Structure 1
Amino acid sequence: MSISSPSGPSVNRGEDVEPGEEKVCAVCGDRATGYHFHVMTCEGCKGFFRRSIIKGVHFTCPFTRSCLITKAKRRQCQACRLQKCLNVGMRKDTGVTGWVPVSPGAVILSEEALRQRRALRGQRRMAREQPGGLSAEQQELISLLIAAHQRTFDSSFSQFSHYWPAVRLCLPSPRPQSPPEPGVPPPAWPPSPQPDCLDEDVLPDVFSMLPHFADLSTFMIQQVINFAKEIPAFSRSLPIDDQISLLKGSTLEICQIQFNTVFNMETNAWECGQHCYTIHDGALAGFQQIYLEPLLKFHISLKKLQLHEAEYVLLQAMLLFSPDHAGITQRKFIDEFQEKVALTLKSYIDHRHPMPEGRFLYAKLLLLLTELQTLKVENTRQILHIQDLSIMTPLLSEIIS
């Protein structure tokens, strides 16, 4: 198949070119790169034709309108070069200023359309270069937060040193003994009663877990402080008064986010290395069910979302950089950084959680953060009413002051 022009030779289409055969520009004879505006041309003649049509320039030949157009001489006469483009069959349409169709698969673009296309190509190229659709800045932020978390959070609690052992109130109660085997003499003393740990029969004024809980609270708070210090936007960009205000306002909430990483949904227990805690231990420390039951529900709901490590650390950073805390002076900086963290979390969820599970994940997290704020208020109220708890841990007392 060929395309012929009334004033020029026919030009073969791609299917007539033999494999391996060198393709030649029908206008100047240079090496062609493909079909442009319906004709096999080089990049130079393609660009020249496009610019000439878009600008609508009227060229004048200084000679006899019969200049020879070759690779070496194609710049010498624009009028004859444009005429040669038309003669070999390149199509034009100057009646449209945007996308100008000239053939199936070929268009002439206005300058504005070209800028838009270049911008779109740049965006697509950046998207290909950015893993998971995250920008380089977002990837760097996630890496920084994960590194800070890993350096400061001891998930095995191997560094947790406590002065008071975890003592659960136990009362002795006899258990039925197996009958002695024939020929075995009875023991010389009666069997010792076996302890049964009671869940309900705990005296309300006996808080056997309180000292241990005080040590655990100090350990968790110190980890949050160290996490914050690892973030340059916190430790290097904010005055010390703002740092203190942010920590006072967010530490208890961040502790719960970190605690959720070791929560076992099957046993409803927080497995901290050699230690294992339940809400019954919280009751032994003096906390009331009005706080403990919603706390357990919160951890179950958060654990069901199956968050990645990146999402846990982004949540912690969102809580830390809250401009709503009292006494803040660099409110604008903190607000902008929190917004950056929130957008990064949203982008991460959009690209790392397949549908339909990830459809409402971000919204669910925001609702849980609101619920966590309510839990913090009740937690603070109960801490202040538990006798001796603030005295046992000055750091906790400073946080809730």
Structure 2
Amino acid sequence: MTGPASANSNSSQPEECCLVCQDISTGYHYGVPSCNGCKTFFRRTIMKNQTFQCQFQKKCPVDKSVRCACRHCRFEKCLQVGMDRNAIQQNRDPIGYTKRTRRYPPVKKIEASEECSPSMVSETDRNEDTALSFLSLTEAKCCALRLSEYLPSRTLLEAVISPCLLMDEVFMAEKAVLSPRHTISNTRFATQTDYHYWHERDWFVMIEWAKTLPVFQSLPFPDKLALLRHSAITYPSLVHVFNSPDHGPDTIVFPDGAYFDRTPEPTRPLGFNKKKYQMLDQLLKPMRTMEIDMTEFAAFKAIFFLNPDADDVDANAKKMLSDGRSAITNALYRYMVKKKGPEDAGDRFGRLLLLGTVLATMAVEMKEAVLVADFFDQIQFSTFAKQLLFGIKTESDI
């Protein structure tokens, strides 16, 4: 029996997710619930007998935001979740157009003829592009605040709940002024004090930057802290690499002239030396080779920060973070198409997003190194750093 009651019952059932990328499934394809994008990708790979190479350690993330980044890991994920290559029939599964009925569209490819046609740009695209432009402008403000003399003394709680300084035009005009001590006159090898100083500055700017993100502002307070903690270990590394002046392929220079390179530092914990080499080989080199601009960096930083898989993030927050991340990846891809053209944009887009795998690996290893260093008192963390890295007991009191 069918009728209104039956229809309402069916519409209230939870929608299945694609087992490959966690997007909305459009049905069972080749044995498993999957979206049209992953179904088509799997079919095309089998029909064309394609093989792919992973640029990293065959551990690239595969979700609806970055599923196009590494085709090797995406295909392996298809096989892992049970897609059956024997279910593909050449006479019934030609390689061609399939109707898309998904709720959340994948990153949309832009044809060259569409680039200058405003009438073909949807309102959603315009909103996403506006948000990307805002990220780029905000990144310039972050650089100004980072190079200023201003560095408040406050607890993590005070930092998160206080008004955003980057959005305060009066404050930025008066305080975000280049400090003479943050200009390079002579270079010198960085000391432990230098590392501490620039990490503290970058954490301060990270929190102010996070407060400019609408998704972050809409989250409950515990989820805000969870996101900040998740990025705290690797955020400074990303900023150091992008903002370092070019003094050679194996050198990162802080704004005050302190630098580090491949020189071994036996006084530092072993894990920190390993992190240094990872920064030089897996972040600095590819970012310099790609010549990433401010807009691309701002987008990538936001995509990595808005991680729905961050520890201790609530289930409701995961959906918000995933949607926010998808909007930025869509806008970033369109930006790259306009900058490099449709043919080169896909490769560039994938190479940039895969740097997130490097950061994720570094985050796991550095978390262990930080815990060991703190346990054996190898590093004297400030109170603020301990609150950010290890947590604070009064979170639930806010």
> TM-score by structure 2 length?
0.52
Q: Is the 8 A contact 1:314 1:341 kept in 2?
A: yes
In the alignment, the residues of structure 1 paired with residue 333 and residue 385 of structure 2 have an alpha-carbon distance, to the nearest angstrom, of 32
1:371 partnered with 2:355: no
1:276 partnered with 2:261: no
Equivalent residue for 1:256, pick from 212, 237, 253: 237
Aligned to 1:72: none
Q: Is the 8 A contact 1:321 1:334 kept in 2?
A: yes
In the alignment, the residues of structure 1 paired with residue 229 and residue 195 of structure 2 have an alpha-carbon distance, to the nearest angstrom, of 19
Give the 5 Å matches for 1:333-352: 333-352=320-339
The aligned amino acid for 1:376 is: A
Segments of 4+ in structure 1 off by > 6 A?
Answer: 130-134
Aligned to 1:233: 215
In the alignment, the residues of structure 2 paired with residue 198 and residue 258 of structure 1 have an alpha-carbon distance, to the nearest angstrom, of 20
Q: Is the 8 A contact 1:263 1:270 kept in 2?
A: yes
The aligned amino acid for 1:303 is: R
The aligned amino acid for 1:324 is: D
C-alpha change, 1:152 and 1:265, in structure 2 (3 Å) is closer
In the alignment, the residues of structure 1 paired with residue 339 and residue 359 of structure 2 have an alpha-carbon distance, to the nearest angstrom, of 24
Q: Is the 8 A contact 2:262 2:277 kept in 1?
A: no
Q: Is the 8 A contact 1:257 1:312 kept in 2?
A: no
1:246 partnered with 2:227: yes
Give the 5 Å matches for 1:149-188: 149-154=139-144, 157-159=147-149
Equivalent residue for 1:331, pick from 318, 324, 342: 318
Query: How far does residue 325 in structure 1 lie from its aligned partner after superposition?
Result: 1.1
Structure 1, gaps ≥5 residues long: 1-123, 163-196, 200-207
Q: Is the 8 A contact 2:247 2:253 kept in 1?
A: no
Q: Is the 8 A contact 1:322 1:334 kept in 2?
A: yes
Query: How far does residue 149 in structure 1 lie from its aligned partner after superposition?
Result: 2.0
Structure with higher helix content: 2
Q: Is the 8 A contact 1:158 1:273 kept in 2?
A: no
In the alignment, the residues of structure 1 paired with residue 339 and residue 209 of structure 2 have an alpha-carbon distance, to the nearest angstrom, of 25
Give the 5 Å matches for 1:287-306: 287-288=269-270, 289-298=273-282, 299-306=284-291
C-alpha change, 1:135 and 1:161, in structure 2 (3 Å) is closer
The aligned amino acid for 1:334 is: L
The aligned amino acid for 2:141 is: R
In the alignment, the residues of structure 1 paired with residue 378 and residue 384 of structure 2 have an alpha-carbon distance, to the nearest angstrom, of 11
1:219-242 CA distance string (max 9 Å, x none)? 11111111001222212x111111
User: What SS class does the counterpart of residue 360 from structure 1 fall into?
Assistant: helix
Aligned to 2:384: 395
Q: Is the 8 A contact 1:264 1:271 kept in 2?
A: yes
Aligned to 1:140: 130
The aligned amino acid for 2:233 is: L
Query: How far does residue 391 in structure 1 lie from its aligned partner after superposition?
Result: 3.6
Query: How far does residue 345 in structure 1 lie from its aligned partner after superposition?
Result: 1.6
In the alignment, the residues of structure 1 paired with residue 308 and residue 382 of structure 2 have an alpha-carbon distance, to the nearest angstrom, of 27
In the alignment, the residues of structure 2 paired with residue 315 and residue 286 of structure 1 have an alpha-carbon distance, to the nearest angstrom, of 30
In the alignment, the residues of structure 1 paired with residue 216 and residue 246 of structure 2 have an alpha-carbon distance, to the nearest angstrom, of 33
Percent identity, aligned pairs only, is 15
The aligned amino acid for 2:128 is: Q
1:290-345 CA distance string (max 9 Å, x none)? 32212210211122111121111111111121110122222211111111111212
1:195-226 CA distance string (max 9 Å, x none)? xx999xxxxxxxx8223322221111111111
C-alpha change, 1:396 and 1:132, in structure 2 (3 Å) is farther
1:152-176 CA distance string (max 9 Å, x none)? 33487343779xxxxxxxxxxxxxx
Aligned length: 237
Aligned to 2:118: 129
Q: Is the 8 A contact 1:157 1:272 kept in 2?
A: no
Mean Cα deviation higher: 256-265 or 368-377 = 256-265
C-alpha change, 1:161 and 1:138, in structure 2 (3 Å) is closer
1:180-202 CA distance string (max 9 Å, x none)? xxxxxxxxxxxxxxxxx999xxx
Higher relative contact order (CA 8 A, sep 6+): 2
> TM-score by structure 1 length?
0.51
In the alignment, the residues of structure 1 paired with residue 298 and residue 200 of structure 2 have an alpha-carbon distance, to the nearest angstrom, of 20
Q: Is the 8 A contact 1:156 1:272 kept in 2?
A: no
User: What SS class does the counterpart of residue 117 from structure 2 fall into?
Assistant: helix
C-alpha change, 1:270 and 1:225, in structure 2 (3 Å) is same
Structure with higher strand content: 1
